[in-house]
A and B are shown apart, each in its own frame.
Chain A
Amino acid sequence: MTAPAPAVEAAGLHKSFGTVRAVDGIDLALAPGRIYGLLGPNGSGKTTFIRMVAGLARPTAGTARVLGTLMPNRDVLGQIGYMPQAEALYPELSVAENVAFFARLEGHSDRVPVDRVLDLVGLADRRTTPAMHLSGGMRRRLSLACTLVHEPAVLLLDEPTVGVDPALRVQFWAHFRKLAAAGTTIIVASHVMDEADRCDELIFIRSGRVLARGTSAEVRNGAGTPDLETAFLHFSGLDADGRALEAPIS
């Protein structure tokens, strides 16, 4: 049996800002229908990687492909859902208006997907509330709704559950699971370790390079640590107390 064509593919991917190499040679092939956790300390290149996959930044060298299409390419954007770290909502617009706006840009002008996605994120009773009057967690949920409304084949989520309470986080993940089962490829950049544990596969990035890749168990074994949190610190070049290792991993 041949492996399915990768949904997201990076080959020798580089991105420099002046002398800073934000992404410094990433090679990845991510299979459809799986959830990938993108882990790494602040400034490790996670967001830059995601932005190149989303077609928002042009690689300095190397290539990024989504569903076989070389990025950046507007034609494939309708199949990508990108949820940035910043909320990126229109504060004066209501909850439903924000979602409907992004739905229209994606080519859906009917109300059904808007209602469905608002139900999913638990904002159905806030349809008419202006986004500026929502709490931080609600804004995060609305932002996710805007990302999911067009049922993309590839989901790029940059820290999607920051500020979302544990009960709703569980619901989110149940939904992510359902989407993945239906074939959606999901990349989640996160710092939350119990969230990382829910991913099919983890990718540790530091200084723009992939340091480790595998299931949660594989990553823990590779780092020789009992839990993911310590593994994270290990790959971030820190010991279990957060002090710099004398000979950091490279």
Chain B
Amino acid sequence: MSASRILAVARRIAQGFRRDERTLGLIFVVPIVITALLGWVIRDQKDLTVGVVIVNEAGAPGQRIVDALTTATIGAPDGIEVVATAETQAAAEAALRDDNGDLALILPATLPGDVLTGQRPRLTVITGGTDPAVDGAALGKLQGLMATVAEELAAATGGVAIIPEIERQTLYLTAQADELDVLAPVFLAYFAYFFVFILTGISFLRERIGGTLERLLATPVSRAEIVIGYSLGFGFFAILQVIVLTVFVLARVDVPSIGPLPAFTIGLDVQSVGSPLIAFLLAVVLSLGSVSLGIFLSTFARTELQIMQFIPLVIIPQGLIGGIFWPVDRLPDVLEVVAHVMPMAYAVDGLRAVMLRGADFGDAAVQLDFLVLTGIAALFVVLAGTTIKREVA
């Protein structure tokens, strides 16, 4: 062991960093940017008003509750408001599907009887079920509201406040859906996007620094032919990867116990109500955009390390504000705008719509998602083409 040799190695690294100002800068900038972004997203989330649709099957006593709830929530003082009443549960569900409310509250026909016999009445609450965090928050607000209204009604009649039990139902997934069922659609999007970006970015960087790009450009090949050829070549492997991810997320293969090995399952067995093919196509369009993004950003890198440095700047922010963990419409206003220029937001929206709500190509949101993702992919093909021109005059 020689201390001077160890120090020589350490010193060599410091000398390298000194000349690589960008890496040095990113060491300081990246953690601050990412942490600040995370703090911003979590602290400054918009608290959206929960819209309640009420179905009254309990006659006049029920109507008293409806009136009390409606009066108490005018102007949504506590972030919850009765927005509509519906004749039947089916009508209320239709209203939720059309996005005319966030949850439905059903006052059952048994309610007056239960109150008279002193039993706790059972109310049914229907939520979307595609985002447990959002549903949980909405449910919390509803319970707070019902407690307040129960006190008021009790005070008015001189009785004791009765807090009803709540039975949860969900519009889309089963009420047993866990975080994984909700996150799985975005696995497809995020990981495909991430891996394809790294693959293409590094390959094209090699093409640039290895001299092969220059040599290609000395042949009659056009820039468009290079970019489209690249998209096709990497697109093929991106598609393979998306197939693997889709199958793993949706499949469940039970492997029985063999000898001393315990039984186990392969695949996540995620509930998906929509077409796996549409989900797959969404992920493919997203990945093709990632191919051109990799080519485009490789212009701004001189080393493979510098390609990696784009991950915290390009990939992670899309993970934070692309709608994966927090709905885009709850982000602080500025970030909401930023999210809407990110392909991830559209891919996540589309994949959730398809896998969780069973939307198909007839759905306007899915159409928009496809359109925007295709547009972004096309835009980056053009941008990638221009960077090839710039590089070699």
Chain A positions within 8 Å of B, measured between CB atoms, are 54-58, 72, 74-75, 77-78, 80, 82, 84, 86-90, 102, 105-107, 146
CB contact between B210 and one of A57, A88, A105, A146 (< 8 Å): that residue: A88
Complex: A77 Cα to B214 Cα, angstroms: 13
- 20 further A-B contacts with Cβ under 8 Å, apart from A57-B393, A86-B210, A106-B220, are A56-B214, A56-B217, A56-B218, A56-B392, A57-B392, A72-B393, A74-B220, A75-B220, A82-B218, A84-B215, A84-B218, A86-B211, A87-B211, A88-B211, A88-B215, A102-B215, A105-B220, A105-B221, A106-B219, A146-B215
B212 close to A90 (CB less than 8 A): yes
Q: Which residues of A contact B392 (CB under 8 A)?
A: 56-57
CB distance from A48 to the nearest CB of B (A): 11
Q: Which residues of B contact A80 (CB under 8 A)?
A: 218
Q: Which residues of A contact B214 (CB under 8 A)?
A: 56, 84, 88
Would A78 and B220 be within 8 Å (CB), given that A56-B392, A56-B393 are in contact? yes
27 contacts between A and B (CB under 8 A): A55-B217, A55-B218, A56-B217, A57-B392, A72-B393, A74-B222, A77-B219, A77-B220, A78-B219, A78-B220, A80-B218, A82-B215, A84-B211, A84-B214, A84-B215, A84-B218, A86-B210, A86-B211, A88-B211, A88-B212, A88-B214, A88-B215, A89-B212, A102-B215, A105-B219, A105-B221, A106-B219
CB distance from A30 to the nearest CB of B (A): 18
Q: Which residues of A contact B210 (CB under 8 A)?
A: 86, 88
B14 interfacial contact with A, CB 8 Å: no
Chain B positions within 8 Å of A, measured between CB atoms, are 210-212, 214-222, 392-393
- The chain A residue with its CB closest to the CB of B226 is A105
Complex: A42 Cα to B218 Cα, angstroms: 23
Secondary structure dominating the interface of B: loop
Q: Which residues of B contact A105 (CB under 8 A)?
A: 216, 219-221
CB distance from A160 to the nearest CB of B (A): 14
Complex: A88 Cα to B219 Cα, angstroms: 13
A58 close to B393 (CB less than 8 A): yes
Complex: A55 Cα to B389 Cα, angstroms: 12
Complex: A87 Cα to B211 Cα, angstroms: 7
- The chain B residue with its CB closest to the CB of A91 is B210
CB distance from A100 to the nearest CB of B (A): 13
- The chain B residue with its CB closest to the CB of A55 is B218
Complex: A106 Cα to B222 Cα, angstroms: 11
- The chain B residue with its CB closest to the CB of A87 is B211
The 8 A-B residue pairs whose C-beta atoms are closest, nearest first, are A88-B211, A86-B211, A82-B218, A88-B215, A105-B219, A58-B393, A77-B220, A78-B220
Q: Which residues of B contact A102 (CB under 8 A)?
A: 215, 219
Q: Which residues of B contact A74 (CB under 8 A)?
A: 220, 222
Complex: A243 Cα to B139 Cα, angstroms: 88
Complex: A57 Cα to B391 Cα, angstroms: 10
Q: Which residues of B contact A55 (CB under 8 A)?
A: 217-218
Complex: A55 Cα to B217 Cα, angstroms: 8
CB distance from B199 to the nearest CB of A (A): 14
- The chain B residue with its CB closest to the CB of A90 is B212
CB distance from A4 to the nearest CB of B (A): 25
Complex: A72 Cα to B223 Cα, angstroms: 14
Interface centre among B215, B217, B392, B393 (most CB of A within 10 A): B215
Q: Which residues of B contact A90 (CB under 8 A)?
A: 212
Interface centre among A58, A105, A107 (most CB of B within 10 A): A105
CB contact between A54 and one of B211, B212, B218 (< 8 Å): that residue: B218
- The chain A residue with its CB closest to the CB of B209 is A86
Q: Which residues of B contact A89 (CB under 8 A)?
A: 212
- The chain B residue with its CB closest to the CB of A77 is B220
Q: Which residues of B contact A56 (CB under 8 A)?
A: 214, 217-218, 392-393
CB distance from A143 to the nearest CB of B (A): 9
